[in-house]
Structure formats: structure tokens, C-alpha cells
């Protein structure tokens, strides 16, 4: 039984370290455009089911990390003609050699071919191909409507492709720079009820105060579990000393 308890407490410590790192990552990205926070549940489950105030739970609590895809806390007005924020569910589609990526980070620009690209020069997908702005059209003339249609002087230049994964949000994997990928067997679906706002960027959905509260809880539980391990080690050492005379 003692071995089982020690194993569980060691597992607790590892899960709490993982959760601490996730919270620290959220805090580091609190001002990152389009960032979606990593949700953590282990410490809350552990705190709820433990039977004492020691902070040590010898029962198994499920360690899970997931993405919180809720709307960003606010829209940041930039005035940029290709700064685009999404209100509602959905992602822009970024074309890469390794397959599509998905993002809410709508800070775009135009490459030498007039195609709308992200900050790394990757093409932003449109319905039917890249959204292309001819060299004869000034960015000041570009209008992006609420449904993602791009036009200039009444001429349609394309429409941004917006997709979602309504049944498979647990399969969305962060890959950095506020971009995400999904397994090849996960199908996306077009989104019709999202609103696009030109001249704005979506902020992250990290609430700093909430993350700090979570960090305090994780730290407290981590310290309690480490103290339990230290106490058990000291007790074993004392017993060994007695046995050795």
C-alpha cells in the first residue's frame, strides 16, 4: 500500500508540474493576438476530492489539458486594412507544405504576387483560391465585409475561407504562433455565422487574475505533495537507522 501511495503522490507531482507549465505559458501569451488559453483541470479535481487539508490526495485525479476556444477578451483597433478579427466560432486557414494550419491571428499582409499571406509569408486561403489584390489596387481601397468578402471600388477580389471543427475541438493541436493543426482524419466545416471585423485584431482569451489564482492553487498542492514525499523519505531513513542499530 505504501508503494502505491508513493507512486500516486509522485504522479500528482508530475501532473502539477505539467499544469504549472501550462499556466505559465498562458501568462506568457496574455498579450498574444488570437491566442487561446490551455485549460487545466488536475489541481481543481484534486482539491475537490481530497479528504483532508493536507493538499495530498492518494486517489487518482485525472490530469487533462485542453484548449479553451472561447472568444478573446477584446478587439484591438489597429486600422490596418488587412488586420482582421473574427467574432464567433471559426478559424482562418493557412496553407503550408505540410497541410493546412488554422488560426485566429488575423494580422495579414500582401506578398509580391498580391496574395494575402500571414506574417511568415504563408498564403491565407480564400474560397476558391488565395485572396489576391492586384498591384493596381491600393490597400487603402480594400474593404473586407462582415462575411469576409474582399473588394475594392466595387470589384470582388475574393472571400476568406473560415472553417470550424464543431465535433472535434479536442483534436485541435497548438503548433505555435497562435496556429493549430488537426489530424488528417478530422474534417472541417465551413462557417457561415462568423462576423469579420476589418481594422481590428482579436486579443487572447487569457484572464491574468484567473491564471494567477490557478497558479497559487497548483503551487500550494505541489508543495504539500513534495512535503509528503520528504516526510516519507525521512521516516524511511529513520527506520533504517534504527534497524542498523
pLDDT tens column, 155-188: 999 999 999 987 666 788 999 999 999 988 888 8
Cβ-Cβ contacts under 8 Å for 221 (sequence gap 6 or more) = 12, 16, 43, 46, 47, 55
Which of helix, strand or coil describes residue 156?
strand
Range of 35's domain?
A: 2-70+205-243
Q: Which residue did the predictor score with more confidence, 32 or 225?
A: 32
Indicate if the pLDDT at residue 15 is higher than 80.
yes
Q: Compute the average pLDDT of residues 34-45.
A: 83
Domains contained in the chain, number: 2
Per-residue pLDDT, 184: 85
Q: Compute the average pLDDT of residues 223-227.
A: 81
Enter the pTM of the model. Answer: 0.82
Indicate if the pLDDT at residue 48 is higher than 80.
no
Residue keyed to cell 462575411: 147
Percent residues over pLDDT 90 in the chain = 59
Q: Does 171 lie in the same domain as 59?
A: no
Q: Does 185 lie in the same domain as 84?
A: yes
Amino acid at each position: 500500500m505504501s508503494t502505491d501511495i508513493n507512486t500516486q503522490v509522485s504522479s500528482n507531482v508530475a501532473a502539477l508540474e505539467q499544469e504549472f507549465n501550462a499556466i505559465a505559458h498562458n501568462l506568457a501569451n496574455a498579450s498574444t493576438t488570437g491566442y487561446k488559453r490551455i485549460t487545466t483541470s488536475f489541481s481543481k479535481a484534486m482539491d475537490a476530492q481530497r479528504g483532508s487539508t493536507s493538499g495530498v490526495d492518494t486517489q487518482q485525479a485525472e490530469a487533462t489539458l485542453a484548449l479553451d476556444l472561447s472568444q478573446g477578451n477584446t478587439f484591438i483597433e489597429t486600422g490596418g486594412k488587412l488586420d482582421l478579427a473574427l467574432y464567433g466560432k471559426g478559424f482562418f486557414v493557412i496553407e503550408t507544405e505540410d497541410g493546412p494550419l488554422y488560426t485566429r491571428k488575423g494580422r495579414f499582409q500582401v506578398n509580391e504576387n498580391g496574395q494575402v499571406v500571414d506574417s511568415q509569408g504563408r498564403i491565407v486561403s480564400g474560397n476558391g483560391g488565395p485572396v489576391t489584390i492586384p498591384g493596381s489596387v491600393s490597400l487603402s481601397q480594400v474593404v473586407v465585409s462582415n462575411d469576409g468578402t474582399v473588394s475594392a471600388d466595387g470589384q470582388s477580389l475574393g472571400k476568406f475561407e473560415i472553417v470550424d471543427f464543431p465535433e472535434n475541438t479536442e483534436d485541435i493541436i497548438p503548433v505555435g504562433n497562435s496556429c493549430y493543426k488537426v489530424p488528417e482524419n478530422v474534417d472541417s466545416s465551413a462557417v457561415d455565422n462568423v462576423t469579420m471585423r476589418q481594422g481590428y485584431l482579436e486579443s487572447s482569451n487569457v484572464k491574468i487574475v484567473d491564471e494567477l489564482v490557478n497558479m497559487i492553487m497548483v503551487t500550494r498542492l505541489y508543495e504539500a505533495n513534495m512535503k509528503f514525499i520528504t516526510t516519507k523519505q525521512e521516516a524511511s531513513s529513520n527506520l533504517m537507522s534504527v534497524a542498523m542499530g
